[in-house]
Amino acid sequence: MGVYGGLGPMTNAVLWVQVVVFAVFVGLRLYTRKSILNAVGADDYLAILSLVLQIIYTVFVTVASCYGLGQKLADVGNQDIYFTAVKYELFSQVAGLMVIGVGKAAVGMFLLRIVRNRIQIWFIRVCLAITAFITLFASITVIVQCTPVERSWNHSVPGTCWLDFSKVGYTVGSWFVAADFSFAILPWFVVWDLNMKQKEKITVALGLSLGVFAGVCGIVRTVALSGLNASEYIYDTVPMLIWSATESTVTIMCSTIPVLRPLYIRIRYGKDGKDSSNGGNSSYKLPLYGSGRKYGILSIPGPGASVVEKKGGAYQTTVMKHQKNNTSDETILRGAAGIERTDEISVTYEPYGKKF
């Protein structure tokens, strides 16, 4: 083992605290989706994968700090130990790049659950495809940027480096920032077309656009990539390591907060989720208007449809009208964020029978 000190202990403390925060948000997300909404999706599984990768990332950084990460070569005092710290830091960067990429994918998959416009769907899919490609490319090249591979972390080994990874890092970082802001702006276009009150639109859109904070963290992390070309690698790259973990943590936090709305309703208004402000209706329960007579409500074939029922010796025509005034068009958000549409149904009966 090498020396442990310098910026190493502080780096470990920050990263492990973020792991705990990361785990808490993922746990609350899964509880809400499974126990309250019963709508676990691909974005939730990606959030779990992100947590696993975040732990792996933090473990590698912790191991690297035991070999001198956070200190300069003169403080470590042994070149071989110094290069070992560089090796484990490079391994951590593989996990760090992947956790950020998977986090962006989780945000994209979340948006796919609420987007209905075909152009917007394809835009998200293209962003996800590009994110997957550059994440895999950067994760691989960070290790194999030199020939032989060992030269990637030990420059005393004879060989050549065929790639300047700092350029790859800036490219990947810039794309991650662009993806964050794109995914933060897109919900405004989605929500603004819904039949909702303007106040509700702004509230929902702001909740779905928290990813802008992840974008800010991404900008800071991209600026910190300057440490990749520094002479004291394991010392000057500490800000990059911390901001990489921060970006991934904030990404999951921002994508999870909108999902926790049903949990907030349950905690505030009780298990039934009854909010006096909306007439006692749950904001996350499944709608009853499509469940047939089981709940004492007629099944609705469609707006304005007529249903003929026999009452004794006569027949009655039931005309159902779909009221759109002062209603919310939020059903598409129900499984994703616990927001559902409330519709008003008026039923009129027109009795008729044989004329004598």
Q: Give pLDDT tens digits for 131-171.
A: 999 999 999 999 999 999 999 898 888 989 888 888 898 99
- Under the banding of pLDDT at 50, 70 and 90, the label for residue 189 is confident
Please state the length of the chain: 356
Average pLDDT, the chain: 79
355 contact partners, CB below 8 Å, separation of at least 6: none
On the question of pLDDT at 296 being above 60, the answer is: no
Model confidence over 246-264: pLDDT tens digits?
999 999 999 899 889 889 8
Taking the C-alpha atoms of residue 172 and residue 124, their distance in angstroms, rounded to an integer, is 17
Cβ atoms of 262 and 32 closer than 8 Å: yes
Q: Poorest-confidence range of 9-23, 152-166, 325-339? A: 325-339
Higher local confidence (pLDDT), 323 or 291: 323
Taking the C-alpha atoms of residue 256 and residue 275, their distance in angstroms, rounded to an integer, is 22
Cβ atoms of 69 and 234 closer than 8 Å: yes
Structural domains of the chain, with CATH = 7-258 (1.20.1070)
Provide the residue type at 263 as one letter: L
On the question of pLDDT at 345 being above 90, the answer is: no
- Determine the pLDDT at residue 232: 86
| Dihedral sign (CA 43, 45, 47, 49) | negative
Cβ atoms of 218 and 143 closer than 8 Å: no
Angle of CA points 259, 260, 262, to nearest 5°: 100
Q: In this structure, what is the dihedral angle of CA atoms 207, 209, 214, 219, given to the nearest 10 degrees?
A: -150
Q: Poorest-confidence range of 69-83, 107-121, 285-299, 333-347? A: 285-299
Q: Alpha carbon of 318 to those of 74, 324, 352, 355: distances in Å?
A: 87, 19, 11, 20
Pairing of strands 146-147, 306-311: unpaired
On the question of pLDDT at 351 being above 90, the answer is: no
For residue 13, the SS3 value is helix
On the question of pLDDT at 20 being above 70, the answer is: yes
Model confidence over 193-241: pLDDT tens digits?
766 677 777 877 888 888 899 999 999 998 888 877 777 889 999 999 9
State the helix-helix crossing angle for 211-223 and 165-192, rounded to 10 degrees.
160
- Determine the pLDDT at residue 2: 52
